[in-house]
């Protein structure tokens, strides 16, 4: 398989870290949703289900066109949500052979490719949703919408995985995407015990996949497993040194991947290998933005700039900030992801906690 979804591995890493520290709530995490009456919450979720419905598209070609047009629009939660829904509907109409050999015999390899591609896009959408959850307070309407979208994305992935599961023993790429699903789908809306189960299953799958086909999906298996092993403490199976080796391999296999830069630079700093981290940050700074999803680019440069501060190089962090601001100015639809504080804690406005000169 030649296709590699641009999975946001930072999301998967955050999932593992949350599980390891037992810091994730069982529901959406917003104050109001946790305190709401179940009947009232169910009412809002039903309303959200109706509100976010996508316009029906009956023609297969039109569905695929709509999918292609917005499947990578990570700055548009609603638009990308409909795109992955259309893509899933189109993929479900394709026949999928029961084995990789039969796929080649019947010339249906493209059908498998399409199913895996759409699965990867749905996994990307988990990241878009996860970044929409507030770290502090969020209203019941947004909380309800995100819950509905999360569950709908899980359902779409489940349907696609049922179709490709018979291929997993022969198609390493499908195995890696199933492992990615275990991690991505449990970042939110999942009890802690289920999150821990997901990490265990994903780790086992990734170990097999890397042995089967080390270069599958340009090193995505190494990237995910490296983040898992680095995030987990040793008593839960974590291994920082092996994690770094895996992340280095992932970076070598796909040197343009911003997620590999993020994960490897953070791992270097975590192990006090500052010289390696700084060299990698400077390499990332030279990345051609034309080859990166623009939302991923500005998100990564915000994170990498923070690592520059952590490495004691504010001038390097400023260069990341300058390039990030240039991209935001060029593409005003992108999400700036400026922080706000909850209930007046922090910021310049004593009521909102916002800095009116910096927030967008």
- According to CATH, where is 1.25.40 located in the chain? 256-338+348-360
Instruction: Locate 19 and state its tokens.
Output: 């599980």
User: Residues 6 or more apart from 229 whose CB is under 8 A from it?
Assistant: 237, 238, 239, 240, 242, 243, 246
Residue among 120, 112, 117, 223 nearest 168 (CA): 112
Q: How many CB atoms lie within 10 A of CB 241?
A: 11
pLDDT digit string, tens, across residues 102-145: 666 666 788 899 999 999 999 999 999 999 998 666 788 999 99
Residue among 178, 181, 176, 52 nearest 124 (CA): 181
Q: How many CB atoms lie within 10 A of CB 204?
A: 12
In CATH, the number for domain 256-338+348-360 is 1.25.40
| pLDDT of 107 | 64
User: Residues 6 or more apart from 86 whose CB is under 8 A from it?
Assistant: 54, 57, 63, 64, 66, 67
pTM exceeds cut of 0.95: no
Q: How many Å apart are CA 228 and CA 208, to the nearest integer?
A: 15
18, pLDDT greater than 70: no
Residue among 225, 341, 300 nearest 74 (CA): 300
**pLDDT-above-70 percentage for the chain:** 81
Q: How many CB atoms lie within 10 A of CB 326?
A: 13
**Sole residue written with tokens 């403490």:** 233
346, pLDDT greater than 50: no
**What DSSP element (H or E) covers 354?**
none
Q: Are 25 and 192 in contact (CB under 8 A)?
A: no
The mean pLDDT of 235-254, rounded to a whole number, is 96
Residue 204: φ, ψ to 5°: -60, -45
| pLDDT of 339 | 63
pLDDT digit string, tens, across residues 245-301: 999 999 999 999 999 999 999 999 999 999 999 999 999 999 999 999 999 999 999
**pLDDT-above-90 percentage for the chain:** 74
Instruction: Locate 318 and state its tokens.
Output: 């400023």
Q: How many Å apart are CA 161 and CA 196, to the nearest integer?
A: 20
Between residues 356 and 12, the one the model is more confident about? 12
| pLDDT of 109 | 82
| pLDDT of 96 | 84
Q: How many Å apart are CA 216 and CA 219, to the nearest integer?
A: 6
| pLDDT of 110 | 86
Environment class of 28 (CB within 10 Å of its CB; exposed 0-12, middle 13-18, buried 19+): buried
Query: Band of the pLDDT at 226, cuts 50, 70, 90?
Result: very high
User: Residues 6 or more apart from 148 whose CB is under 8 A from it?
Assistant: 45, 48, 49, 52
The mean pLDDT of 82-91, rounded to a whole number, is 98
| pLDDT of 138 | 77
């Amino acid at each position: 398989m030649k296709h590699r979804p641009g999975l946001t591995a930072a999301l998967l890493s955050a999932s593992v870290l949350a599980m390891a520290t037992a810091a994730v709530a069982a529901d959406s995490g917003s104050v109001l949703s946790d305190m709401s009456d179940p009947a009232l919450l169910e009412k809002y979720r039903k309303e959200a289900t109706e509100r976010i419905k996508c316009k029906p598209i009956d023609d297969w070609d039109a569905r695929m066109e709509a999918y292609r047009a917005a499947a990578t629009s990570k700055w548009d939660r609603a638009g990308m949500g409909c795109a992955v829904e259309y893509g899933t509907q189109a993929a479900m109409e394709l026949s999928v052979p029961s084995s990789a050999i039969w796929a080649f015999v019947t010339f249906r390899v493209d059908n498998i490719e399409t199913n895996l591609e759409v699965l990867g896009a749905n996994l990307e959408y988990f990241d878009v949703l996860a970044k929409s959850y507030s770290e502090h307070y969020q209203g019941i309407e947004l909380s309800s919408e995100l819950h509905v979208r999360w569950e709908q994305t899980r359902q779409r992935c489940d349907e696609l995985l049922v179709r490709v599961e018979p291929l997993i023993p022969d198609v390493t790429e499908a195995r890696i995407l199933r492992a990615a699903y275990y991690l991505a789908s449990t970042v939110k809306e999942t009890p802690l015990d289920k999150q821990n189960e997901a990490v265990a299953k994903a780790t086992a799958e990734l170990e097999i996949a890397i042995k089967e086909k080390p270069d599958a999906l340009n090193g995505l298996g190494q990237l995910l497993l490296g983040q898992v092993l680095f995030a987990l403490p040793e008593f839960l199976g974590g291994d920082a040194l092996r994690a770094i080796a895996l992340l280095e391999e992932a970076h070598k296999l796909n040197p343009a991947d911003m997620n590999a830069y993020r994960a490897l630079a953070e791992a270097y700093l975590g192990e006090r290998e500052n010289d390696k981290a700084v060299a990698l940050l400077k390499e990332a700074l030279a990345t051609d933005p034309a080859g990166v999803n623009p939302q991923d680019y500005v998100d990564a440069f915000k994170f990498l700039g923070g690592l520059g501060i952590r490495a004691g190089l504010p001038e390097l962090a400023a260069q990341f900030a300058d390039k990030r601001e240039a991209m935001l100015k060029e593409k005003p639809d992108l999400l700036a992801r400026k922080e706000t504080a909850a209930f007046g804690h922090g910021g310049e406005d004593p009521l909102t906690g916002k800095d009116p000169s910096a927030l967008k």
